[in-house]
């Protein structure tokens, strides 16, 4: 599908003192780094391209470069060894649509309001592709999941948007798509190699680690095929091979030297660590922590340990390219300072929001070593004006606090021991949500998508709806 362009270390951060938390209780985020004037990028004089490789449902702790012991990601590991690797990156939610909407807009879910499966990003929002297109970039996307289909609004700004691999959700979850995604991405890169003076932005989205986990002869056997966890690892390894093909093509086409490569996953996957399987059901680390790295000309490889957010990607890219960004403010803040080795005065706070099902609501806030989860599932406390998400009730939400240093698996709730930290993080969480709601008022919002009976049944069988 072709669309015309449219313009519309962690230990140091975790050493946060209670006094510091109190100062941050208002929920302030780092101010976005002022954009450079065009042409002041640290890249060479030749136009700087952008390749974003996105892998769906990839847990951060299943990546070798992030500490996994099994050889699931050798090609991704190699990329990360030459990149700035963010060890503690948090998504904005635990399922695809809101997570990628945040990557593309630099806004939280409260800001872009893509809360549920019928949501669509309104045309009034300015996406990463739109900003780059307006600044002379050729923009292309190859996607492979229903929630990245054009009708959900994420195709905005892409001159070429290939959604041939997007199927009804149930079919999509049973397909093997990585070979075709790589083939299409390489073909588009090859075309761009003949236009060295015109920069490009390519999104290559890989879906295969998503359930239903398939067996891949010659790959899966190395990890086992008896358990869902083993099959999942095999899916990651299979996807990694095809990510490697795209990276090899970038190098062989002599484009790598002049290309920013962003690697990001949208969310992780649960395997009953907290009683459930899949994603979009809770906001624990197995689904909220994501893989994120950025390789940019002029930047040395390094590991960044403080908490960052996937919604920081867009403002980071604009600063790297010397572009002004969207006309309205983003909630994300540039990571360029951290990429240079600078230390931030205050730790970033990561807001996560989940409103996928009627009667279900959960928020989380990660800052330094602490993570607060606000579970409002029984309360049905939904965003005012969000269609189809249930009625308001007055049940008190449940608050859970986890120390991610002492308890990285989030098994021990210490909220009762640290009421002051709970109060401070709750204030920061509420402030971040309020800023998102305020940002959303600058934009129009669309009515929920009208899904067919087949689509609704497909989503129900996959656990997205009741």
DSSP assignment of 425-455: HHHHHHHHHHHHHHHHTTS--PPPP---HHH
Quote the CA–CA distance of 38 and 134 in Å, as a whole number: 13
pLDDT digits (tens, 9 = 90+) for 256-273: 999 999 999 999 998 888
Q: What is the mean pLDDT of the chain?
A: 85
DSSP assignment of 75-136: HHHHHHHTSEEEEEEE-SSSSHHHHHHHHHHS--HHHH---STT----TTSPPHHHHHHHTT
Identify the band that residue 466 occupies on the pLDDT scale cut at 50, 70 and 90. low
1: closest CA among 139, 109, 99, 105? Answer: 139
State the average pLDDT over residues 438-464.
Answer: 79
Element (H, E) at 304: strand 302-309
Confirm if 62 and 53 have CB atoms less than 8 A apart: no
Assess whether the previous peptide bond of 303 is cis (omega < 30° from 0): no
Would you state the structure tokens that stand for residue 72, as one six-digit string? 């699931």
Quote the CA–CA distance of 56 and 60 in Å, as a whole number: 11
Specify the higher pLDDT residue, 282 or 44. Answer: 282
> Does the pLDDT at position 42 exceed 60?
no
Confirm if 281 and 326 have CB atoms less than 8 A apart: no
pTM of the model: 0.86
> Does the pLDDT at position 13 exceed 60?
no
Task: Find the Cα–Cα–Cα–Cα dihedral 268, 273, 279, 281, rounded to 10°.
Answer: -140
Specify the higher pLDDT residue, 311 or 386. Answer: 311
309: closest CA among 279, 272, 274, 344? Answer: 344
> Does the pLDDT at position 274 exceed 80?
yes
Task: Find the Cα–Cα–Cα–Cα dihedral 231, 97, 104, 158, rounded to 10°.
Answer: 90
Q: How high is the pLDDT of residue 391?
A: 44
> Does the pLDDT at position 5 exceed 50?
no
DSSP assignment of 134-179: HTT-EEEEE--SGGGSGGGTTTTT-SEEE-TT---HHHHTT---HH
Quote the CA–CA distance of 32 and 265 in Å, as a whole number: 22
pLDDT digits (tens, 9 = 90+) for 281-337: 889 999 999 999 999 999 999 999 999 999 999 999 999 999 998 988 899 999 999
> Does the pLDDT at position 169 exceed 60?
no
Q: Which of 79-93, 145-159, 216-230, 316-330 has the highest mean pLDDT?
A: 79-93
> What letter would DSSP give residue 393?
-
Which is it for the CA torsion 67, 70, 76, 82, positive or negative? positive
Quote the CA–CA distance of 338 and 13 in Å, as a whole number: 12
DSSP assignment of 37-73: PTT--SS-SSPPEEEEEEETT--GGGSGGGT-SS-S-
Q: How high is the pLDDT of residue 389?
A: 42
Q: How high is the pLDDT of residue 15?
A: 40
Coil, helix or strand at residue 314: helix
Quote the CA–CA distance of 397 and 376 in Å, as a whole number: 5
Specify the higher pLDDT residue, 376 or 430. Answer: 430
pLDDT digits (tens, 9 = 90+) for 108-152: 999 998 888 788 899 999 999 999 999 999 999 998 877 878 888
Task: Point out which residues pair with 142 in neighbouring strands.
Answer: 162, 204
Task: Find the Cα–Cα–Cα–Cα dihedral 117, 123, 124, 129, rounded to 10°.
Answer: 100
Q: How high is the pLDDT of residue 2?
A: 46
Q: How high is the pLDDT of residue 167?
A: 67
Q: How high is the pLDDT of residue 465?
A: 58
Specify the higher pLDDT residue, 356 or 240. Answer: 240
Backbone dihedral region of 93: left (phi > 0), alpha (psi from -120 to 50 degrees) or beta? beta
DSSP assignment of 199-262: -EEEEEEE-TTSSSPPP-TTTGGGT-SSSHHHHHHHHHHHHHHHHHHHHHHHHHTT-GGGEEEE
> Does the pLDDT at position 279 exceed 90?
no
Q: How high is the pLDDT of residue 39?
A: 37
Q: How high is the pLDDT of residue 186?
A: 98
Q: How high is the pLDDT of residue 148?
A: 73
> Does the pLDDT at position 420 exceed 70?
yes
Domains defined along the chain, listed by start: 10-26+47-339 (3.40.720.10), 349-461 (3.30.1120.10)
> Does the pLDDT at position 386 exceed 80?
no
Q: How high is the pLDDT of residue 21?
A: 41
> Which of 24-38, 159-173, 442-456 comes out lowest in average pLDDT?
24-38
65: closest CA among 285, 267, 304, 270? Answer: 304
Q: How high is the pLDDT of residue 463?
A: 59
């Amino acid at each position: 599908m072709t669309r015309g362009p449219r313009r519309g270390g962690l230990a140091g951060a975790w050493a946060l003192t209670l006094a510091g938390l109190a100062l941050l209780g208002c929920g302030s985020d780092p101010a976005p780094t002022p954009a450079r004037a065009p042409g002041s990028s640290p890249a060479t004089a030749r136009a700087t391209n952008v390749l974003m490789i996105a892998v769906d449902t990839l847990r951060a702790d299943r990546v070798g470069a992030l500490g996994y012991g099994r050889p699931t990601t050798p090609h991704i590991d190699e990329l990360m060894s030459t990149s700035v690797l963010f060890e503690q990156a948090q998504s904005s939610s635990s399922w695809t649509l809101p997570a990628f909407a945040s990557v593309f807009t630099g806004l939280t879910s409260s800001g872009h309001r893509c809360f549920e499966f019928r949501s669509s990003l309104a045309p009034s929002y300015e996406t990463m592709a739109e900003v780059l297109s307006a600044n002379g970039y050729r923009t292309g996307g190859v996607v492979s999941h229903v929630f990245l289909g054009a009708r959900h609004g994420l195709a905005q700004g892409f001159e070429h948007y290939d959604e041939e691999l997007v199927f009804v959700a149930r079919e999509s979850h049973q397909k093997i798509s990585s070979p075709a995604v790589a083939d299409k991405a390489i073909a588009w890169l090859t075309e761009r190699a003949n236009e060295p003076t015109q920069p490009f932005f390519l999104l290559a989205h890989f879906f295969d680690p998503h359930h239903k986990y398939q067996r891949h002869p010659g790959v899966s056997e190395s990890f086992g095929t008896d358990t869902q966890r083993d099959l999942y690892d095999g899916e990651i390894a299979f996807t990694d091979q095809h990510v490697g093909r795209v990276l090899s093509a970038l190098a062989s086409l002599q484009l790598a030297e002049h290309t920013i490569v962003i690697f990001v996953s949208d969310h992780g996957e649960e395997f009953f660590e907290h009683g459930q399987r899949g994603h979009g059901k809770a906001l624990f680390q197995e689904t909220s922590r994501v893989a994120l790295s950025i390789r940019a000309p002029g930047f040395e490889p390094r590991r960044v340990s403080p908490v960052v957010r996937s919604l920081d990607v867009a403002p980071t890219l604009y600063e790297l390219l010397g572009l002004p960004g969207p006309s309205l403010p983003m909630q994300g803040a540039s990571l360029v300072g951290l990429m240079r080795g600078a230390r931030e005065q205050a730790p970033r706070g990561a807001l996560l929001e989940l409103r996928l099902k009627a009667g279900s609501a959960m928020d989380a806030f990660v800052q330094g070593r602490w993570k607060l989860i606000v579970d409002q599932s029984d309360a049905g406390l939904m965003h005012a004006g969000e269609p189809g998400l249930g009625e308001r009730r007055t049940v008190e939400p449940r608050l859970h606090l986890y120390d991610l240093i002492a308890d990285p698996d989030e098994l021990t709730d210490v909220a009762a021991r640290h009421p002051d930290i709970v109060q401070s993080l709750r204030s920061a969480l509420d402030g971040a949500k309020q800023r998102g709601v305020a940002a959303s008022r600058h934009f129009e919002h669309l009515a929920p998508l009208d899904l067919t009976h087949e689509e609704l049944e497909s989503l129900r069988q996959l656990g997205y709806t009741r």
